[in-house]
Structure 1
């Protein structure tokens, strides 16, 4: 499963897997506890494959940031997202040395690390680009 099926839902903890579309929104399953949730179109939902992190020169897709964390940690968990602001910023600057410190807040770093740890704990560590698959999926969903 690629990041195009993993969602972050505003106001809800953790990450969710997109299961199916419904008449009024979609059905998602929590990666934390496996509970299913009906999500309406009024919720603020972000697909992880669409998120990028600001650097001083460009925006880096979240999957590339996850891959850098994966390589740094040799496939193991990253530091805790509950670490101090200073520890989180130091860790993130090791992973992505040229991240834009003015536009990437400590809360953003905390989310990225928490999301990485959730994905790693579920064995979802294939952060390679899957454009062909996601294009097919979008075409089917749009019909």
Structure 2
């Protein structure tokens, strides 16, 4: 499993695992409830592999951010994504100290933390680190 097969769909909660592509969109499985759904081509879909977080020097791929969170949490779950904005920002500055506070919003941090916890609870983080080897 790699981040190439994990999707975020605008307007739908959580993350989705790509099962197959169709002429009119994608067949996906929710990582939250394991239900299969068809996502039309008109939906805005982001592949997690293509997402990066702004820092003052460069952009850090989401995979590296997930690995930093995993190191910090000893491969365990992260903080709850529903904590206050201040707590999220404080937590994220521990994980990625040089993130660009002007371009990375609290809502972005909330998504990253929520996505990390979803991947961690579905035991998909180990496959991300093995992917490099």
TM-score normalised to the size of structure 2?
0.95
- For the Cα contact (< 8 Å) 1:50–1:61, is it kept in 2? yes
Question: 1-side partners of 2:128 and 2:29: how far apart?
Answer: 20
- Report how far residue 97 of structure 1 moved: 0.1
Q: Please identify the structure whose Cα radius of gyration is greater.
A: 1
- Which range moves more in the overlay, 105-114 or 31-40? 31-40
Q: What is aligned with 1:122?
A: 122
| Mapped partners of 1:4, 1:12: distance in 2 | 19
Tell me, what secondary structure is at the counterpart of 1:87? helix
Structure 2 match to 1:19: 19
Superposition deviation, residue 22 in structure 1: 1.1
Cα gap change, 1:55 to 1:11, in 2 (>3 Å): same
Distance 1:40 1:128 in 2: 31
Unaligned runs of 5+ in 2: none
Match of 1:39 in 2: 39
What does the per-residue CA deviation read over 1:17-54, in whole Å, with 9 as the maximum and x for residues that have no partner? 00011121110100000111111111000000100000
Aligned partners of 1:53 and 1:59 also within 8 Å = yes
Alignment map for 1:94-113 (pairs within 5 Å): 94-113=94-113
CA distance in 2, matches of 1:24, 1:77: 36
If the length of structure 1 is used for normalisation, what is the TM-score?
0.89
Q: Distance in 1 between matches of 2:129 and 2:76?
A: 17
In structure 1, the residue matched to 2:81 is 81
How far does residue 130 in structure 1 lie from its aligned partner after superposition?
Answer: 4.7
- Structure 1 residue ranges, 4+ long, deviating more than 2 angstroms after superposition: 126-131
